[in-house]
């Protein structure tokens, strides 16, 4: 069965960079979940307004559907999605038995430094604190989550994910 991997973490944790590097290594399609946001959500974030759970609901359902459709057709799929709360991850798990999460974990200081050196289409660095405030780190009960430190080169992050054998 094909796999559906969610690369999760706060903005600036490297979801897109890791996803683009990981996808060809495991013969998967990479989809940036940011591109699946509604225009309303994009406008809200661009204005520096954090999204609410209600704002995220349709976005999360769409991500779950896209991942499920890929897995059902036999195509491995990686989607970058913050998935900051356990409830969000639980929603993504619904009808997705092939799902795995990779939590890209890093300190506020490291990620803030990264964000301050880049430009993002609608995610200002001022929203980083709200993301860390919202983040519910995956616990041991979430056995489909691999936690990987981002305080290492991208190549080592990719090796760690591949070594975990999330994709067979």
What three-state secondary structure class fits 147? strand
Higher pLDDT pick, 29 / 1? 29
Nearest in space to 75 (alpha carbons), one of 35, 32, 31, 15: 31
> What tens digit of pLDDT does each residue of 42-67 get?
888 888 787 889 999 999 999 999 99
> What tens digit of pLDDT does each residue of 67-123 get?
999 988 988 999 999 999 999 999 999 999 889 999 999 999 999 888 877 665 555
> What tens digit of pLDDT does each residue of 6-34 get?
999 998 999 999 999 999 999 999 999 98
- Tell whether the model's pLDDT for residue 131 goes beyond 90: no
Q: How many of the other CB atoms lie within 10 Å of CB of 44?
A: 17
Q: Where are the domains of the chain?
A: 4-163
Assigned token pair, 63: 């991500």
CATH topology of domain 4-163: Rossmann fold (3.40.50)
pLDDT band at 167 (very low <50, low <70, confident <90, very high): low
Q: What are phi and psi of 80, to 5 degrees?
A: -80, 120
Separation of alpha carbons 134 and 25, rounded Å: 32
Averaged over 143-161, what is the pLDDT? Answer: 96
Separation of alpha carbons 123 and 107, rounded Å: 18
Q: Can you name the residues that pair with 99 across neighbouring β-strands?
A: 4
Separation of alpha carbons 86 and 164, rounded Å: 22
Nearest in space to 136 (alpha carbons), one of 82, 89, 86, 90: 86
């Amino acid at each position: 069965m094909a796999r559906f991997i969610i690369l999760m973490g706060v903005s600036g944790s490297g979801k897109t960079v890791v996803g683009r590097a990981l996808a060809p290594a495991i013969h998967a399609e990479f989809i940036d979940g940011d591109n699946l946001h509604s225009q309303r959500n994009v406008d809200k974030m661009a204005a520096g307004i954090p999204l609410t759970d209600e704002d995220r609901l349709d976005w999360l359902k769409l991500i779950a559907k896209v991942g499920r459709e890929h897995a059902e057709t036999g195509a491995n799929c990686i989607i970058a999605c913050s998935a900051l709360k356990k409830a969000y991850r639980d929603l993504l798990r619904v009808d997705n038995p092939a799902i795995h999460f990779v939590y890209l974990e890093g300190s506020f200081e490291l990620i803030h430094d990264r964000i301050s050196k880049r430009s993002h289409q609608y995610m200002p660095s001022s929203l980083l604190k709200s993301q860390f405030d919202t983040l519910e780190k995956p616990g041991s009960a979430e056995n489909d989550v691999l936690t990987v430190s981002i305080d290492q080169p991208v190549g080592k992050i990719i090796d760690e994910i591949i070594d975990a054998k999330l994709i067979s």
